Amino acid sequence: MPITPKDASARARDIANAAPIVPVLVVEDVAHAKPLAEALVAGDLPALEVTLRTPAALDVIRAMAEVPGGMVGAGTLLTPADVKAAKEAGATFGVSPGATDILLDACEAEGLPLLPGAASASEAMALLERGYDMLKFFPAEAAGGAKFIGSLASPLPQISFCPTGGVNPQNAADYLSLANVVCAGGSWVAPSKLVKDGAWDQIEALAKEASLLPR
């Protein structure tokens, strides 16, 4: 069922509010998908972004979508074909590094809430004009970091952000302390070595630590 930009952004905001950190996941082996999602959800990080960077990504989304309590999204959506495939695989939201009219049209037609990316005031204003007020800020550190995002709060108080790209345990608190940041995306809660080793208890512990970050 199609979704309006306003409703899409409201749903994205609900997802962003679920926890201070959204794990950004690159999963090579579908066998790791379900236990990884279970560990992250048990660690109180229910919103999961699976990046479409591996051949297994869509199957990973399918497997993670079966985990109770999880909200699985597809990252790096670039084309209408990406949107359709992600929705069919069971993604409940999408994430993109930027935004184009074609991509926004596709997400709205498919009824897939999108966290569209912006890295400037003009990009953020264009998305707000369309009806989106919950945005991804990418690449966060390279584009100006917490200082830049914080400077947008006064002229654009309607807009909230989920910064991603260079966010880590050392600087996450700088972002989360900002009034216009709802959550942040990060990959450190599921490092590839721990995933490959099946160290689910360690991943759950990292997730729990991240879930307790103040915001």
193 is catalytic: no
Catalytic residue among 38, 49, 108, 110: 49
Question: How far is 214 from 200, CA to CA, in rounded Å?
Answer: 24
Question: How far is 199 from 154, CA to CA, in rounded Å?
Answer: 43
Catalytic residue among 38, 87, 110, 136: 136
Cβ-Cβ contacts under 8 Å for 42 (sequence gap 6 or more): 204, 207
Token couple for 142 = 């390279």
| Half-sphere exposure (Cβ direction) of 173: Cα atoms closer than 13 Å | 6
Cα-based distances in Å from 129 to 95, 105, 118, 122, 177? 19, 14, 13, 10, 26
136 is catalytic: yes
Question: How far is 195 from 199, CA to CA, in rounded Å?
Answer: 6
Cα-based distances in Å from 17 to 12, 136, 148, 183? 9, 13, 21, 7
Positions marked active-site? 49, 136
